[in-house]
A and B are shown apart, each in its own frame.
Chain A
């Protein structure tokens, strides 16, 4: 299956990005073929609605799951409506989180936060 993760750099040893909407890149990872590609996040620099635009990018990349530390209300709507499952990442590197996901150690993301109302993210 294919999954996505917001990442700080194009390097699996580096950390998962703390933000979904404003992350610089997305990792698109195929758990069967172990193929990894990185997408630039076009939403990172926008004035508002970054979560929505980022979610659209994820939807268009045909993944089945998103691994992320957090997610806003509007983005979550887009993702959930498209049938994408949201998992909560933990502190650590991209590689560590992929391993945890493979061994079923990651939990579903339950906490969806309020939108930042056009004012950027934390």
Chain B
């Protein structure tokens, strides 16, 4: 079963919740899809790490075969090719790796080479298989890395907890596409509620069963709670603002592995989610 944890707003507690959910399960796979700023591995400190680089394919020209017909230059929607002084020049950082130039060259003068854009790391931390995606700084899109993460994590029977990127752009969509359930984490500020609304729209669009965890709850009005109540959204858990939890988290300790109270909190949350998913499959098979 795949559970995606997302928030719309950064800093709400996605990683806190996803890391601890994975640790609270008997056995689980934790997948860090926030490839621009991956954090889960800092908590798990996985061992037996295996690294695999992720590549984009970039065209290379065989100058002997190239006749300067410019089919590729004219085709490229990203303007990554120019023909100057009888030579084809390829601009690698602009190339989107669509493969078009290679496909349409009438002389078969283009082939491809690999360019590393990032990596995925697989490791183990006690009961958790840890999959981390990392995008190289300067690269524009982490989608190929997220894709590779899912390929690497596909053969598991355990709970897979997916730590999603913030926001609601294409990388988030890629991360929740295969999820069975989405946990939306929200903080009790105006910003938190605004972004909860956004991400709620997203999971609704994707028809994903979902529930909310209200994090860092303090006294007073909670605009995120109000939003849930007004829209009939299931509140799975309310985690109060807790300096101890905050400190553990800030020092990259996994709360569930440090204190029984937190283990109970997150085990119970996991059970609630399991129940929600079971309910969904019986009512919407």
Residues of A whose CB lies within 8 Å of any CB of B are 43, 46-50, 52-53, 55-56, 59, 74, 77-78, 81-83, 115, 117-118
Q: Is the CB of B82 within 8 A of A118?
A: no
Q: Is the CB of A78 within 8 A of B94?
A: no
Judged by a CB distance under 8 angstroms, whether B205 is at the interface is no
Judged by a CB distance under 8 angstroms, whether B279 is at the interface is no
Residues of chain B within 8 A (CB-CB) of A59 are 82, 84
User: What's the nearest-Cβ distance from chain A to residue B56, in Å?
Assistant: 14
B68-84, CB under 8 A of A: which get 1 and which 0? 00000100111111111
User: Which secondary structure dominates chain B's binding surface?
Assistant: loop
Number of residue pairs spanning A and B whose beta carbons lie under 8 angstroms apart? 50
Q: Is the CB of A81 within 8 A of B78?
A: no
Q: Is the CB of B77 within 8 A of A47?
A: yes
- List 6 A-B pairs, Cβ < 8 Å: A46-B79, A53-B82, A56-B82, A78-B89, A81-B85, A81-B89
Judged by a CB distance under 8 angstroms, whether B93 is at the interface is yes
Q: Which residue of B lies closest to A49 (CB)?
A: B79
Residues of chain B within 8 A (CB-CB) of A83 are 85
With contact pairs A43-B79, A118-B78 given, residues A78 and B140 touching in the complex (Cβ less than 8 Å): no
Q: Is the CB of B85 within 8 A of A82?
A: yes
A115 to B94, CA, bound (A): 10
Q: Is the CB of A115 within 8 A of B93?
A: yes
Q: Which residue of B lies closest to A81 (CB)?
A: B84
Which B88-110 residues have C-beta < 8 A from chain A? 89, 91, 93-94
